[in-house]
């Protein structure tokens, strides 16, 4: 069996988990292989995100690792949400250290 030399990546994509850098022939050796389906649109394996807890446990990903990643994602996401809100409302974003005006 041919193995890819790239690092395997597990990510969330629109209600599914996406397993990248795993060749189509390799999945039988990967945990929980019965839930994965090959997505030829992106050349990766995909399954419903509901299987995340079992896959995380089987891969040995700790809650501490998830907490670290989650805090980074939340920080980035909150910045994006504020930027989108400001764009939609026509407001210009405030510089990070600017004092709050009377409208706060």
**Tokens 């446990």, residue located:** 57
CATH pick for 9-59 out of 3.60.110.10, 3.40.50.300, 3.10.20.80, 3.40.1170.30: 3.40.1170.30
Q: How many residues does the chain have?
A: 104
- Whole-angstrom Cα distance, residue 3 to residue 16? 24
Q: Do β-strands 9-13 and 16-20 pair in parallel, antiparallel, or remain unpaired?
A: antiparallel
Quote the pLDDT of residue 23: 85
Per-residue pLDDT of the chain (104 residues; tens, 9 = 90+): 445 567 778 888 888 988 888 888 887 666 677 889 999 999 999 999 888 888 877 777 777 776 666 666 666 666 666 676 677 767 665 555 555 555 54
Biggest CA pair distance of the chain: 66
Residue carrying the six token digits 């990510």: 11
What's residue 1's pLDDT?
A: 43
Structure confidence at residue 54 (pLDDT): 82
Pairwise CA distance, residues 9 & 19, whole Å: 6
């Amino acid at each position: 069996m041919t193995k890819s030399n790239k690092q395997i990546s597990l990510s969330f994509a629109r209600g599914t988990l996406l397993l990248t850098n795993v060749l189509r022939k390799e999945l039988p050796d990967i945990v929980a292989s019965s839930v994965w389906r090959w997505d030829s649109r992106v050349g990766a394996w995909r399954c419903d995100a509901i299987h995340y807890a079992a896959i995380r446990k089987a891969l040995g990903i700790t809650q501490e690792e998830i907490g670290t990643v989650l805090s980074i994602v939340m920080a980035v996401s909150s910045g994006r949400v504020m930027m989108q809100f400001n764009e939609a409302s026509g407001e210009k974003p405030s510089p990070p250290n600017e004092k709050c005006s009377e409208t706060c």
